[in-house]
Structure 1
């Protein structure tokens, strides 16, 4: 439990505002998001040092599924640290990954989790005392986090359907007869994405299969869509132009989610539940 002196202000009506409040008071906290997919945010002295969500590969998935570390080597590290409290240190000590590389991978996983979480609407959140984090970095400000989310969403915009809809759409090969000649000219990462596009997998599923970030896979799929090599299994809903009145930017802008984040009611620790997004179904 958190005492009254550290309770976030009642005005924290969404996650960016909550993180800005914790940042201004240099709090070390864990924020657990409920809903689908849900996730966990870790802050130290007001800086975000790690994020986890089932919607994007975490550090372990990036290391194992990409082939950077073998299952056997991973098992050996876990055996050497039965409490799993020093996995990062053991990975470096056994020279399976460099300290700098692990820092970069953990930061990549953090930004990818933030991007994935911005595509859905949390039902609520709970702020608790900080819990241990297996993989963390020096920390980033909430403002930088929101800026990076906006940048990634902007790079993926412009195609049919919203970025959020694209993330949960199953993809299939569009022209199998043309693939043999076209694939040879593609970068290896595009070829890997094509090899894992089977009509049942969403961009998230492909990211987990390859051990790559969700954003990176979605960016490659956008390119393959433009080349006519992949297509959604069902048509994406065309985006309507925005008619919202433009207002000056706030110090901490709202994240670029397809739907607004929930608002809190004074005196409550969780926001008013919002309708859950449509279920995507498992591939």
Structure 2
């Protein structure tokens, strides 16, 4: 996160602002100066965390959006209709919020702009103070760096590396390894598995440190075109008459 974005968030907190902080890689939604929701294209949202985990059907989620989205009370509807408990919703929502904020507050996420008064259709769940979101974002970046200080594995496709032995892997790591096909990135694997993207980044970096995944080698550049022999002759022959004949021949073809 850049100092400019941090200063903007500090001002919005002091002003108890309500609206949306938009950046290239995600959006933070604030209400009365606290973060109430976050979303990013790189991070599976609350719907993915609930439905992939089997706690909520895709139909149940869509019903909540259709019936309560316009009133910005989707979260309340899910609890009132018994789809999830309030505790389950809060836990999943915090996971989705911190996950998306990690990407939205990335240092290379471009400029920030604030849309005053914007509110998310999910509705209130549990607000999180801005300093807590910033601290958690910094902690996560430092943790990733300590595990494997080569961030290219976060954004490049990763491929599994066969190994005869090595330390035992967790079930989550085995699922990540099975999805590392040389085409999917870490965030692509997170979407496939319906898991928080940051947790998947952790697994990918741990697997990279253990030598179990790598980024595919860069494709070799295409070979330079081979020049016809007569062009090569011209490039080394200083005969002015030959150059004149070449010019005349080209003009005759036009």
Q: TM-score normalised to the size of structure 1?
A: 0.68
Separation of aligned partners in 2, 1:160 and 1:101: 32
- Residue number in structure 2 paired with 1:219: 202
Higher Rg: 2
Matches within 5 A, 1:9-48: 14-33=4-23, 35=24, 37=25, 39-48=26-35
Separation of aligned partners in 2, 1:192 and 1:65: 14
Deviation at 1:199, TM superposition (A): 0.8
Consecutive unaligned residues of structure 1, counting only runs of 5 or more, are: 1-11, 236-283
Separation of aligned partners in 1, 2:115 and 2:205: 38
Deviation at 1:161, TM superposition (A): 5.0
Cα 1:182–1:92 shift into 2, 3 Å: farther
Which of the pair has the greater relative contact order for Cα pairs under 8 Å at 6+ separation? 1
**1:145 and 2:133 are equivalent in the alignment:** yes
Cα 1:75–1:140 shift into 2, 3 Å: closer
Matches within 5 A, 1:187-226: 187-226=170-209
Selected match of 2:44 from 51, 57, 62: 57
CA contact (8 A) 2:47 2:61 kept: no
CA contact (8 A) 1:16 1:142 kept: no
SS in structure 1 of the partner of residue 89 of structure 2: helix
CA contact (8 A) 2:207 2:213 kept: yes
Separation of aligned partners in 1, 2:4 and 2:170: 40
Matches within 5 A, 1:1-283: 14-33=4-23, 35=24, 37=25, 39-81=26-68, 83=70, 85-119=72-106, 121-133=108-120, 134-158=122-146, 161-163=149-151, 165-175=152-162, 178=164, 185-234=168-217
RMSD: 2.6
Higher helix share: 2
Separation of aligned partners in 2, 1:49 and 1:56: 16
Separation of aligned partners in 2, 1:140 and 1:85: 18
Consecutive unaligned residues of structure 2, counting only runs of 5 or more, are: 219-254
Cα 1:124–1:154 shift into 2, 3 Å: closer
Q: TM-score normalised to the size of structure 2?
A: 0.75
Separation of aligned partners in 1, 2:127 and 2:72: 19
CA contact (8 A) 1:55 1:117 kept: no
Separation of aligned partners in 1, 2:102 and 2:38: 10
SS in structure 2 of the partner of residue 128 of structure 1: strand
**Cα shift readout 1:57-102 (whole Å, capped 9, x = no counterpart):** 1111222233332223334434544736322122212322111111
SS in structure 1 of the partner of residue 37 of structure 2: strand
Query: Quick check: 142-151 or 118-127, which moved more?
Result: 118-127
Cα 1:148–1:93 shift into 2, 3 Å: same
The aligned length equals 216
SS in structure 1 of the partner of residue 214 of structure 2: strand
